[in-house]
Amino acid sequence: MSFFARPASTEWEQVPLPGSTAGFCWAWFKPTTAPDSVAVRLPSETFFAASAAPRPSPRQILHAIGIGPNHVTAWTLYGTSFDPSVFAAVIDQPLPPPPAGANAELSIQVGAFPATHASGAVASSQAAGAEVGHIFDMIDTDWNLTLLLEKHLVLLRKQLSNMLARITTIDRDLNPEERMYADRQAKNDWQEARRWLKDSAAKLTRYIKEHDTGDTSNAGKREWFVKTYEQLVVPRRPFPDLIQVQRNFESHRKRLQILQTNMTTALQFATSEGERRAQQVLERIARSVRDKRAKQRGRRENEPIRRRHLDSE
């Protein structure tokens, strides 16, 4: 897969590395602090296996992580930075072992367009045009995923609103009969359940508000994304800051994914820790009320019999 099409990593990913000793490397694509780069770690077997086993070259690593050599704008090997021209000179040479105490790690910075090397040669306009088309494809993908996320978020928003209405109704003081017949433990449990209900309501309210006034609304930046997509992306004509626009669309899509996760978590929390917990306590109290009523009704029904028995004596 091309580096440009990969989503940002959330953990180290194992990437096959044909021809190397260990057969794989570890990669972290587009870290938050450097979204235009990839960090690569080589397993220790790469350097401590038999000397006859081949070690990977920079070209093999680039091929494995989906980066063309001309896209490398900077690179760091074992903590030391090198000019891209040096990278080009050793691209087919096996990597040397890391110095004692150093991590076997590379950091490769990537440019959106092929980098200019020391020789002054640049990529052909055809290659640049293909890269521009790929960037537009990435924006298309992010925007289409964004539209799907928005539809799901609308449904989630309705579910959160319904849940908020339910737990707001449940969160109440006990009525006189419930207070009379509920035992101390049940009353304490109900106060605890009400705290969970209030906590659930606060979470639901927060994410409903974030949906209504945040990135998914015109109060946020959504209108800018719509206009940018329709006026600049759809015509497929290169424009200044194309790379930054692509990153903006990608970041927007990721923010919606985070909102989706938060809304789903808030709904699950309100269901299990709010509504269900409160209903269980109320059911226990209602059972106590029914039991007391039944006992009182039984005493009233037995009272005439008891009186006749006393009269007969």
Give yes or no: residues 152 and 267 share one domain: yes
Distance from CA of residue 133 to its chain's centroid? 28
Residue located via tokens 């091929």: 63
Give yes or no: residues 104 and 136 share one domain: no
Give yes or no: residues 249 and 307 share one domain: yes
Give yes or no: residues 94 and 213 share one domain: no
No. of helices (H) and no. of strands (E), the chain: 9, 6
Is the per-residue pLDDT at 128 higher than 60?
no
Mean pLDDT of 179-186: 90
- CA dihedral (156, 162, 164, 169) in degrees, to 10, reads -170
Give yes or no: residues 220 and 253 share one domain: yes
Domain count, the chain: 2
Boundary of a domain, candidates 70, 91, 115: 115
Residue located via tokens 């092929």: 114
Boundary of a domain, candidates 96, 115, 134: 115
Residue that wins the pLDDT comparison between 96 and 151: 151
The backbone torsions φ and ψ at residue 86, rounded to the nearest 5 degrees and listed phi first, read: -65, -40
Give yes or no: residues 80 and 172 share one domain: no
Q: Is 71 inside a domain boundary?
A: yes
Give yes or no: residues 90 and 160 share one domain: no
Q: Which of 97-111, 172-186, 221-235 has the lowest mean pLDDT?
A: 97-111
Is the per-residue pLDDT at 125 higher than 60?
no
Identity of residue 259: L
Q: Is 120 inside a domain boundary?
A: no
Q: Is 13 helix (H, G, I), strand (E, B) or coil?
A: strand
Q: Which two tokens stand for residue 64?
A: 């494995």
Give yes or no: residues 16 and 102 share one domain: yes
Residue that wins the pLDDT comparison between 112 and 203: 203
Q: Is 250 helix (H, G, I), strand (E, B) or coil?
A: helix
CA distance 175 to 177: 6
- What H or E segment, with its residue span, contains residue 45? helix 45-48
Is the per-residue pLDDT at 278 higher than 50?
yes
- Predicted pLDDT of residue 11: 86
- Predicted pLDDT of residue 160: 96
- Predicted pLDDT of residue 301: 64
CA-based Rg of the chain, rounded to a whole angstrom? 33
Boundary of a domain, candidates 60, 89, 115: 115
Is the per-residue pLDDT at 73 higher than 60?
yes
Total Cβ atoms within 10 A of residue 83:
12
Give yes or no: residues 185 and 295 share one domain: yes
Q: Which of 95-104, 113-122, 138-147, 245-254 has the lowest mean pLDDT?
A: 113-122
N-to-C CA span, the chain: 99
Q: Is 121 inside a domain boundary?
A: no
- Predicted pLDDT of residue 311: 58
Residue that wins the pLDDT comparison between 79 and 302: 79
Q: Is 148 inside a domain boundary?
A: yes
pTM to 2 decimal places? 0.55
Instruction: Give the range of the structural domain holding residue 49, as residue numbers without chain letter.
Output: 3-115
Total Cβ atoms within 10 A of residue 9:
16
- Predicted pLDDT of residue 156: 93
CA distance 227 to 212: 20
Q: Which two tokens stand for residue 164?
A: 């908020």
Total Cβ atoms within 10 A of residue 217:
13
Total Cβ atoms within 10 A of residue 147:
11
Give yes or no: residues 283 and 145 share one domain: yes
Residue located via tokens 């704008």: 73
Give yes or no: residues 164 and 298 share one domain: yes
When pLDDT is cut at 50, 70 and 90, the band that residue 16 belongs to is confident
Which of 80-94, 180-194, 236-250 holds the top average pLDDT? 180-194
- Predicted pLDDT of residue 8: 83
- Predicted pLDDT of residue 161: 96
Is the per-residue pLDDT at 263 higher than 50?
yes
Q: Are strands 72-77 and 37-41 parallel, antiparallel or unpaired?
A: unpaired
- Predicted pLDDT of residue 124: 38
Give yes or no: residues 86 and 50 share one domain: yes
